[in-house]
Structure 1
Amino acid sequence: QSLISIRTFAEHQWSEHPEGRTVIVERSPLSFLFLNNNLHFVHHKTPTVAWYKLPKLFRDRREEWLRMNNGYAYPNYFALIKAYAFKAKEPIVHPVLRRQAEPGRAFKPRIRARSISGLGSAPVPAEPPKE
């Protein structure tokens, strides 16, 4: 369970650019156990490729993969643990919820709220509430 938690912790991050949300962990003694899912970005971009072909696919186009995912990569899981063992990887409140939706964009962040008709939702305020 704890080994899977490390991989799950690393897999995604918030990024304004969807390509930069999915990790590449280049080397891992756990690769076989994780079915090479440490190359998670490569898996997302080529979901029909068999798990055992991902390492070669990554090696053959390494620079291109790293450029495509905006450098969200770690040389190994130890580097990830070292970087975030004692500090938050990302803010607890999702960054997109800290701002108003942009005019003309379809995404309008909402929160659960009570209204006169019961439980519903309301637009997220631009600033998080003060504690």
Structure 2
Amino acid sequence: MSPSHSPLEIRPGRHLDWPTLAVAAAIYSGWIVVTARHGSIPTPLLVLSGGWLLAWHGSLQHETIHGHPTGIRLLDGAIGFVPLALWLPYRLYRSSHLAHHASPAITDPHEDPESRYVDRRFGLAWLAARLQSTLPGHLLFGPPIAIARFAAHESRRAVSAPLQVARDWLPHLLAVGLLLLWLDHVGLSITRYVLFFVYPGMALTNLRSYAEHRADLATKGRAATVERGGPLALLFLNNNLHAAHHERPGLPWYRLPSYHREHRARLIGDGAVLYGSYGEIFRRFAVNAHDAVLHPQYRDKSA
């Protein structure tokens, strides 16, 4: 990571990022139209559009966490807050993601809340990591595992810090209630919404996250780059250029490609993790694991 930029850098100034606002308008208006017209949309197209909108919304939330589109935390949070995925309060996502960027050792399961590595060769965490070690496993099993792990963590936190949990969850639950009222109004059952919107949306997001970090003790966890994102670059708001994002997390999504081109030699040099496309990731990891799930920091201790 470049020493000249804080990992929590927020874009200076308070001017509107119109491309990000346009994405937000497209997501929310698209979600309203698709949910309202779900009965007339063929199931394959409903799964595709629902999954795309939910994954795109996750990318938008990621942008708001990093200070877009206004640079005013309250306004950006209001834009990203809407709980289309139902299960994850925005406040907790924001806290976890900023902790990921601030981690002194990205990918270390004790230092990075977004790590998928483990520190031992047994237990439920080990089994969950093994189930997700290939790309199909991460797409298929990743969503329910993420929700189950999150629910277990929040259950423990509810015992140790009930007031804080209530503060984090009450606004989220109120918003979820309003969203469920809308789904009931348009006749879309919660089961169909989870299966046709939430699950495929999480799976698409997992496609992005699967190979974006690789544990490396020499570099404290190296961020990867997928150079040709194709249509998925728009879905992920250029977060496929993950090394560039980690170096300049306050840079808006539409400026990442030019930043990557300008600094490409450095970003992909010195052993950096580089993929040509998501097609390459599919080919390489359809059967083979992306990496050993036991973090290298703990491999000797667990031998």
CA distance in 1, matches of 2:263, 2:302: 42
Cα contact 1:22–1:41 (8 A) shared by 2 = yes
Matched, 1:50 2:255: no
In the TM superposition, what are the counterparts of 1:11-90 in structure 2 within 5 Å? Answer: 11-18=212-219, 21-29=222-230, 30-67=232-269, 70-90=271-291
Deviations 1:47-83 (A, max 9, x none): 1211100001111221121115x22010101101111
CA contact (8 A) 2:217 2:296 kept: no
Q: Give, as a single letter, the amino acid of the residue that structure 2 aligns with 1:17.
A: A
CA–CA distance in 1 between the matches of 2:257 and 2:221? 20
Question: What residue identity is the alignment partner of 2:205?
Answer: I
**Offset from partner CA, 1:22-65 (integer Å, 9 cap, x none):** 11000112111101000011011011211100001111221121
Q: State the secondary structure of the residue aligned to 1:75.
A: strand
- d(CA) in 2 for partners of 1:52, 1:38: 12
Counterpart residue number, 2:131: none
- Residue type at the aligned position of 2:262: D
Partner Cα separation in structure 1 for residue 298 and residue 203 of structure 2: 29
Which structure shows the bigger proportion of residues in strand conformation?
1
- 1:18 Cα deviation after fit: 2.4
In 2, Cα distance between equivalents of 1:9 and 1:90:
10
Shift of 1:88: 1.1
TM-score under structure 2 normalisation? 0.32
Q: How far off its partner does 1:127 sit?
A: 4.1
1:92 to partner: Cα distance = 2.2
- Distance in 2, Cα, partners of 1:28 & 1:36: 8
Q: Deviations over 1:85-110 (max 9, x none)?
A: 101111122221112xxxxxxxxxxx
Higher helix share: 2
Contact 2:222 2:272 in 1 (8 A): no
State how far apart, in whole Å, the 2-side matches of 1:60 and 1:20 are.
Answer: 23
Q: With CA pairs under 8 Å and 6+ residues apart, which has the higher RCO, 1 or 2?
A: 2
Identity across aligned pairs (percent)? 35
Contact 2:226 2:274 (8 Å CA) reproduced: yes
Specify the SS of the correspondent of 1:26: strand
Matching residue of 1:118: none
Distance 2:266 2:219 in 1: 16
Q: Using the alignment, how far apart are the partners of 1:33 and 1:44 within structure 2?
A: 18
Gap regions ≥5 residues in structure 2: 1-201
SS in 2 for 1:55: helix
Equivalent position amino acid for 1:12 in 2: H
Cα distance in 2 for partners of 1:56, 1:38 equals 13
SS of residue matched to 2:234:
coil
Aligned 8 A contact 2:211 2:290 in 1 = no
Partner Cα distance (2:283, 2:298) in 1: 28
Residue in 2 that maps onto 1:96: 297
Quick one: which amino acid aligns to residue 238 of structure 2?
A: N
In the alignment, the residues of structure 1 paired with residue 263 and residue 293 of structure 2 have an alpha-carbon distance, to the nearest angstrom, of: 34
